[in-house]
Amino acid sequence: MKTINRDLLNRPRVWVSLALVTVLALGWWFGWMSPEATKLASVRARQVGQRATVASLASQLAKLRADAKRVQAASPFLQRFGAAIPAQPDSPGIVEQVYHLSVRDRVSLSSITDDVLSAASGSYSTIPVSMTVSGGHDAVLSFVAGLYKLPRLLTIQSLNLTGITSVLATGNSTYSATISATAYTTYVAPAHGSTAAVPATTS
């Protein structure tokens, strides 16, 4: 086992060298290593934050994809609802649908009135629709049934028949039907009045 030369340790040059090495080591630690360690800790903290952000965004993306699937599944229903109860009264559209139905069923549409808008609740309004048709027994019954199948939602409140003695009559006996129905819109009528003229729709 080698022994340390004590004379060597007593030399000033050795102590100066040791002091210089110590100073350099401390300078390296505080001047480079410590700041780098701080930077490394900061980078790691940012990475943790970024991972949390990515996880949060991934969760939001998953929810958005799930919502998109639900919206896509509900899209046909929403389209039918939008056509049945549109955002605008669209009075001409009601007349057009009823007219085409009368042509299909070969009945004569002698009159139709739907120019009044009534506030039914805070979320929708109603449009009373009155019409008179005439034709054969089977044709008129088909027309009445067809009113419930129009793209626009119509509910029948009353049906008055004239010209025959029984609704159960068959064949082509001619008679007339006066129908009172109701159409619906999500357009809200002015609150200051119970009725108002149906506003014109823009194309």
Along the 203 residues of the chain, how does pLDDT read in single tens digits? Answer: 555 555 544 556 655 566 666 666 656 555 655 666 677 777 777 888 888 888 888 888 888 888 777 777 767 766 777 788 898 888 889 999 999 999 999 999 999 987 778 776 667 888 999 999 999 888 998 999 999 999 999 999 999 988 765 555 555 568 889 999 999 998 876 654 433 444 444 33
Domain boundary, last residue among 56, 83, 110: 83
Contact 189, 118 (CB under 8 A): yes
Nearest CA among 111, 106, 113, 160 for reference residue 138: 106
- What is the number of domains present in the chain? 2
Residues 127 and 172 in one domain: yes
Residues 121 and 163 in one domain: yes
**pTM strictly above 0.85:** no
In this structure, is residue 203 part of a structural domain? Answer: no
The predicted pLDDT at position 68 comes to 77
Residues 171 and 115 in one domain: yes
Rounded CA gap, 111 and 127, in Å? 16
Q: What is the CATH number of the domain that holds 125?
A: 3.30.70.60
Rounded CA gap, 76 and 160, in Å? 35
Domain boundary, last residue among 50, 83, 116: 83
Residues 69 and 35 in one domain: yes
Residues 46 and 142 in one domain: no
Phi-psi sector, 90: left (phi>0), alpha (psi -120 to 50), beta = left
DSSP state of 200: P
Nearest CA among 85, 115, 140 for reference residue 197: 115
Between the two ends of the chain, the Cα-to-Cα distance in Å is 105
In this structure, is residue 56 part of a structural domain? Answer: yes
Residue 164 sits at φ, ψ, to 5 deg, of -135, 165
Contact 177, 131 (CB under 8 A): no
In this structure, is residue 202 part of a structural domain? Answer: no
The predicted pLDDT at position 131 comes to 95
Residues 136 and 51 in one domain: no
Residues 97 and 185 in one domain: yes
Amino acid at 46: R
Q: Where are the alpha helices (DSSP H) in the chain?
A: 6-9, 12-28, 34-84, 91-105, 137-147
Residues 102 and 189 in one domain: yes
Rounded CA gap, 153 and 63, in Å? 34
The boundaries of the domain holding residue 137 are 91-197
Contact 183, 96 (CB under 8 A): no
In this structure, is residue 171 part of a structural domain? Answer: yes
